[in-house]
Amino acid sequence: MTLQDQSGMVAPGLDMAGPPGTVGAVPVVLGEAEFGAFYHAHVDKLFSFLSRRTRRDVGKELADLVFEQFFVWWQQHPEQAEPVGMLYRLARFRLNDYLRRRGRELTVEPSDLENLPGGMDGDEFAAVERHHDLRKALATLTEQQRQALLMKYVANLSVAECAEALGTGVDNMKKILGKAREALRQAPGMDAYNSAVTAKEVRG
């Protein structure tokens, strides 16, 4: 069985027939209905995340690959509490590989944080200034902090899902996100913007 959404994106790995060593050879633990429901619940969001850094056709190809790898993994780990986090961990690896081959890196961009509170109020000049200040501020963060912001604000994951995507604990992820936001707020040039967030947002 192969699932396909209206955009033409295929969810590989659901055909359980096949020779040893293929996706179909993995023992079936979860049913096709569960896989199908998960796929349809997350395919559009994953495609949006991947295509934000690539062309749409590349985003589609990467999403197909990510789902194929994810479904193999999920059959072997049906007890996983945060499967969405693992889906995006795989997506981050695949997207990073694609970008590195083209001399780029996967990181958070100023435009990804444009919805943080404060700053612009429709003023185009202020928007340009804030974009410039955000880029300089992001350069002061650690790579781990930038990746945490990427998962939180670009992939729109919960804190628990961010933790799984980056291979750390939930409490540590809260600390990473909190320190990243604080570092942005304290960075030179950012004092004019109300980029502080509440504890409720940190809990995510």
Which of 100, 131, 158 is the endpoint of a domain?
Answer: 100
Query: Residue 47 in contact with residue 7, Cβ under 8 Å?
Result: yes
Domain count across the chain: 2
Task: Give pLDDT tens digits for 77-106.
Answer: 888 878 999 999 999 999 999 999 999 999
Do residues 148 and 169 share a domain? yes
Do residues 55 and 116 share a domain? no
User: Which among 149, 164, 155 has a CA at the least distance from the CA of 202?
Assistant: 149
What pLDDT shows up at residue 29? 56
Which of 52, 69, 100 is the endpoint of a domain?
Answer: 100
Query: Residue 76 in contact with residue 70, Cβ under 8 Å?
Result: no
What pLDDT shows up at residue 188? 76
Any domain includes 177: yes
Any domain includes 105: no
DSSP code of residue 110: G
What pLDDT shows up at residue 148? 95
Do residues 11 and 88 share a domain? yes
55 φψ region: left (φ > 0), alpha (ψ -120 to 50), beta (else): beta
What pLDDT shows up at residue 85? 95
Do residues 198 and 131 share a domain? yes
What pLDDT shows up at residue 9? 44
Do residues 95 and 114 share a domain? no
Query: Residue 166 in contact with residue 173, Cβ under 8 Å?
Result: yes
Do residues 120 and 198 share a domain? yes
Domain assignment of residue 10, given as a range: 3-100
Do residues 89 and 170 share a domain? no
CATH number at residue 133: 1.10.10.10
Do residues 117 and 199 share a domain? yes
Residue in this structure with the two tokens 């880029």, named with its chain if needed:
135
What pLDDT shows up at residue 125? 40
Q: Which pTM value belongs to this model?
A: 0.73
Which of 100, 127, 153 is the endpoint of a domain?
Answer: 100
What pLDDT shows up at residue 116? 57
Do residues 88 and 9 share a domain? yes
Do residues 148 and 179 share a domain? yes
What pLDDT shows up at residue 124? 43
Do residues 92 and 34 share a domain? yes
Point out the residues of the chain with pLDDT beneath 70. 1-29, 114-131, 191-204
Do residues 128 and 180 share a domain? yes
